[in-house]
Amino acid sequence: MIKHQHHGLKIGTILIMMLSLACTFGVSSSSSNNLHPLILIPGNGGNQLEAKLTSEYKACNWFCERWYPLVKKKDGWFRLWFDSTVLLAPFTQCFADRMKLHYDTHRDDYYNTPGVHTRVPQFGSTYSLLYLNPRLKHATEYMARLVDSLQQLGYSDGETLFGSPYDFRYGLAAKGHPSQVGSKFLEDLKSLIENASTSNGGKPVILLSHSLGGLFVLQLLNRNPPSWRKKFVKHFIALSAPWGGAMDEMLTFASGNSLGVPLVEPLIVRNEQRSCESNLWLLPNPKVYGNSTPLVITQNRSYSAYDMVDFLKDIGFPEGVYPYETRILPLIENIVAPEVPMTCIIGTGVRTVESLFYKNSDFDEQPEVLYGDGDGTVNMVSLLALQSLWKDEKNQSLEVIKIDGVTHTSILKDEVALGEIVGEINRINSPIQLGLRNFVVNTKMGSDK
């Protein structure tokens, strides 16, 4: 049974602020021992990434070969993401060259450009999730306000609150195919969950993901037995999760995507974006998007989600076909319910890419765009995919909270959204829970569009 609750902007905001204050004051007077440990899993591009270059590295041009980051640690590591020099055209190419992945058909796996070593800083801490570049806090804030809200509830970094950063360029592959980096991340996340539970008296953890992080969490849950899930996972909260991929990725593959970063030329970063394993994973899922609606239209033909192989060939990326067919399609064809209590919090009512129109079948140009509903990045059909896919699941608790006007990333900053997140976590931590509602939709009005 699906219920809709509509609230006015001002009334909804006041109620959520009151709830947040009540939650904050309620926890501040009690011990943090009442809290279930909480782990944050970021989205694509949602944590810092560091790199080091060795003599094996062969730059794409003379400029990139000569230029080495001026701000680097004594051991040679430097910030790869997010580095502000990407805004300058000569450096954009260097950045793309170092971020690029390569697929080896013999290994059946992805790897870095030779001579480029990468790592995520401070796994287990929220440090690299707060700001993508601590020197540019205002411009690169990511989860800082969310973490601050959680700390007001009584959470403490490294004790009850943990971060799980990862190399977001890599994804996962279907069973039978190696995915060394992505699989290693799942192993690390599993260990973090177990250690967080053990260090907090055996309490199961709350998993709070954003965007792509939700896909990793779902895979982790379904790759472990029900007994493990029951013991170690209390609840899974997914923010802005692209369960069925996103149309925005087709624009990324076809013409490059500056992702709103000023001065960046999309075509310069297109090859790097095409190389990312995780971007293939985020292409529109045929079972979610169907074949009745054309997603990309040119003079010669149109492409639905079922035409992805032809689309990849026609945009000039035939090397993406094999990994897409063998590693990605089998991975996304069946989205299994994990039988872990879940809450999805999503933004709605924001213009989101729905169809692309190319006048001359030239994918080097930026297309005309038809917009539809979503959170500005992920389409509504994808955000709500679990409702339709799991409608007959009797053992899966799922609540969906819609917040009008909140975008894919502002959900981590918007005061109404933060109030909903805090309220949900407070409810989960409450000794007397209100009881989970199966497939309930609540609609709120956001304040930060």
Q: Please give the pLDDT value at position 12.
A: 38
Nearest-10 crossing angle of helices 9-28, 144-152: 50
Q: Please give the pLDDT value at position 26.
A: 37
Report d(CA 205, CA 341) in Å as an integer: 12
- Taking only the tens place, the pLDDT of each residue in 287-305 is 999 998 899 999 999 999 9
Q: Please give the pLDDT value at position 361.
A: 80
Q: Please give the pLDDT value at position 381.
A: 98
Q: Please give the pLDDT value at position 360.
A: 82
Residues with active-site annotation? 211, 375, 408
For residue 168, is the peptide bond before it cis, meaning its omega torsion is within 30 degrees of 0? no
Are 94 and 71 in contact, with CB atoms under 8 Å apart? no
Report d(CA 31, CA 396) in Å as an integer: 31
Q: Which helix (H) or strand (E) segment is 116 a member of?
A: strand 116-119
Are 353 and 253 in contact, with CB atoms under 8 Å apart? no
Per-residue tokens: 430 = 């409450």
Q: Please give the pLDDT value at position 72.
A: 61
Amino acid 155 reads: Y
Q: Please give the pLDDT value at position 448.
A: 45
Provide the 10 A C-beta neighbour count for residue 332. Answer: 20
C-alpha distance from residue 168 to each of 5, 52, 106 (Å): 36, 17, 23
Q: Please give the pLDDT value at position 257.
A: 87
The DSSP secondary-structure symbol of 163 reads: E
Are 233 and 340 in contact, with CB atoms under 8 Å apart? yes
pLDDT under 70 in the chain at which residues? Answer: 1-32, 67-74, 260-263, 432-449
Structural domains of the chain ordered from first start? 1-40+121-239+335-347+362-374+392-449 (3.40.50.1820)
Contacts of 176 (CB under 8 A, 6+ apart): none
Provide the 10 A C-beta neighbour count for residue 153. Answer: 21
Beta-bridged to residue 119, according to DSSP, are 50
Put residue 241 in one of left, alpha, beta given phi > 0 → left and psi -120 to 50 → alpha: beta
